Amino acid sequence: MKSAFEAAQFYFEEAASVIGLSDSLRDLLVTPEREIKVQVPIKRDNGQIATFIGYRMQHNSARGPMKGGLRYHHEVNADEVLALASLMTWKTAVVDIPYGGAKGGISVNTKDLSTDELERLTRRFVDEIHDLFGPDKDIPAPDMGTNAQTMAWIMNQYEKFHGFAPACVTGKPVELYGAEGREEATGRGVGTLTLAFLRKFGRSIENSTVAIQGFGNVGSFTASYLHQAGGKVIAISDVSGGILNRDGIDIPAALEYVAVNKSLAGFPGGQPVSNETVLSIDVDVLIPAALGNVLTEQNAGDVRARYIIEAANGPTTPEADAIFRQREIPVLPDILANAGGVTVSYFEWVQNQQYFRWDISRVREELEKYMTRAFHRVWTIAAERHVSLRTAAYILAIGRVSRATELGGI
Ligand code: GLU
């Protein structure tokens, strides 16, 4: 299996070949602008010192300040963060928001740390990198293992060095310059495009069944959106395992259960199944919404879904992608499907720069506009060039980034 960065590069190269991108631009666009790796020591609650490694990979800034989430997860490593940073460059270009791409992460199991320890970890990380990010340089946001509270700590710590600067980070609490609708944005974007995607095949959500792997920020808001739109969500899962109910899961009940119990384990609204089983259920729409590299050469042949929507970043390995193409299972790629989060991050940053607040209906309306416009562009490119939606999304993104690079010069 390829490394995460090799996989991301594979998709890039595929599209670069279709459009005949020059070797010199290829070299430039796969080379990250800056790779940051720092020691992040903290004092544990018990007085001991614990040392973590923090990363911020700044892939490309041809189209604007770099943008991307910050992930706290025990599997975080340099290669993965770099891969995710490059995905952000293409994602911001696909939806045409004025950013480049970056990603950060700390290799840590958040369950091992208290809230105070997480705060110290976050502030110490900011101490190490505060000169290298900021409103016009690189703007972090939530990702796996981080949330609005983490962003509030980042803003507060950053401002100790640089003064008032709410636009230095997005996905903040609404009480602290966060945008209404940012929390739901990724799931809402996934839901919006799932409906648009199904319509292209002459289908509707009301007549479709859905399986979602992951019930965190992305999976849960996606489930809610599709449930409300009339879809039958028959399987959901989180790290504790999955739940299957062929009559349709009561999603509001599942959300309430998770709010109280912190996980789906023991949820009575269906029969327990493994996380792996969720991927191979006989269903119309499969939505991986958690970790990367879950659809692989080993299990792609077992997938019985008719359509795949990539709500996670990098859920499909190139080997699995080839199998889905051969089996004619259309895949809506991550850099388009999950771009709703960063799109509303952009709206938050715009509001912060203008000291002005939009109401939720404006956020939702603009989100829909950005997502559907990108979707139709990608669909048209795929049809015109007879390529997959993933290759089409990369063609659109690479075209935008390389034109900006050529116009701006080096
Ligand atoms: N972490 C999210 C992503 O992967 C959001 C990034 C952002 O809002 O900057 O797209």
Distances (CA, A) of 383 to 16, 329, 371: 17, 16, 18
Give the residues surrounding ligand 1 with Cβ less than 6 Å away.
Answer: 67-69, 141, 143, 170-171, 313, 338, 341-342, 345
Domain residue ranges of the chain, discontinuous segments joined by +: 32-168, 185-332
Which amino acid, one-letter code, is at 192? Answer: T
The reply to whether domains 32-168 and 185-332 share a CATH topology is yes
- Helices within 31-75 (DSSP H only): none
Does the domain at 185-332 match CATH 3.40.50.720? Answer given as yes
- Say how many CA atoms lie within 13 Å of 238 toward its Cβ: 20
Distance in Å, CA 282 to ligand 1 centroid: 30
DSSP-derived letter for residue 316 is: B
pTM value surpassing 0.85: yes
Query: Contact at 8 Å (CB) between 51 and 41?
Result: yes
Mean pLDDT of the residues in the chain: 97
Backbone angles phi, psi at 264, to 5 degrees: -80, -10
Q: What percent of the chain has pLDDT over 90?
A: 98
The string of pLDDT tens digits covering residues 230-287 is 999 999 999 999 999 999 999 999 999 999 999 999 999 999 999 999 999 999 999 9
Distance in Å, CA 270 to ligand 1 centroid: 32
Spatial distance between the Cα atoms of 287 and 311, rounded to a whole number of angstroms = 6
Q: Residue 200 catalytic?
A: no
- Say how many CA atoms lie within 13 Å of 383 toward its Cβ: 7
At residue 341 the predicted structure's pLDDT band, cuts being 50, 70 and 90, is: very high
Q: Which atom of ligand 1 is nearest to the CA of 91?
A: 10
Q: Which residue has 């008719």 as its token pair?
A: 306
Active-site option among 2, 37, 67, 103:
103
- With a cut of 80, say whether residue 1 has pLDDT above it: no
**Crossing angle of the two packed helices 182-200 and 340-354, in degrees rounded to 10:** 140
Q: Whose CA is nearest to atom 9 of ligand 1?
A: 68
Selected from 3.40.50.2020, 3.40.50.300, 3.40.50.10860, 3.90.1010.10, the CATH number assigned to the domain covering 32-168 reads 3.40.50.10860
Spatial distance between the Cα atoms of 290 and 76, rounded to a whole number of angstroms = 14
The pLDDT score that the predictor gives to residue 2 is 73
**Crossing angle of the two packed helices 78-94 and 389-408, in degrees rounded to 10:** 80
Distance in Å, CA 245 to ligand 1 centroid: 31
Backbone angles phi, psi at 60, to 5 degrees: -155, 140
The pLDDT score that the predictor gives to residue 26 is 97
Spatial distance between the Cα atoms of 67 and 59, rounded to a whole number of angstroms = 9
265: which residues sit within 8 A by CB, 6+ positions away?
Answer: 240, 241
- With a cut of 90, say whether residue 323 has pLDDT above it: yes
Identify the three-state secondary structure at position 180.
Answer: coil
Q: Which atom of ligand 1 is nearest to the CA of 182?
A: 8
Distance in Å, CA 268 to ligand 1 centroid: 33
